[in-house]
Amino acid sequence: NFSGPAAQAATAAITTGTWASVFWLGVVGLGLVVPVLASTLAPKAWRHTKGFLITVSCSTILGVLALRHFVVYAGQSYIS
């Protein structure tokens, strides 16, 4: 944050604006928190079912796509 205008713009992209919601809800929420909570809190009988694995895998893939979306579009928005 103290490295100059480019670093301040990068910090602003994660903390404020529409790109912050894409990062926190898409990348962190959908891509990280949902799979971890689903894997730790799911009953043992569900953990190796086809539906559960597909759901957790899709959540992870959507989180990766949200990260890609965030990096590309937020990077274009904050060109110094």
Residue with tokens 């909570």: 37
Q: 3-state SS of 4-60?
A: CHHHHHHHHHHHCCHHHHHHHHHHHHHHHHHHHHHHHHCCCCCCCCHHHHHHHHHHH
Output the pTM of the full model: 0.81
What is the predicted pLDDT for the residue at 35? 96
What is the predicted pLDDT for the residue at 63? 97
Is the CB of residue 35 less than 8 Å from the CB of residue 64?
no
What is the predicted pLDDT for the residue at 10? 76
Domain boundaries of the chain, sorted by first residue: 5-77
pLDDT tens-place values along the chain, 80 residues long: 567 877 777 787 788 888 889 999 999 999 999 999 999 999 999 999 999 999 999 999 999 999 999 988 877 776 65
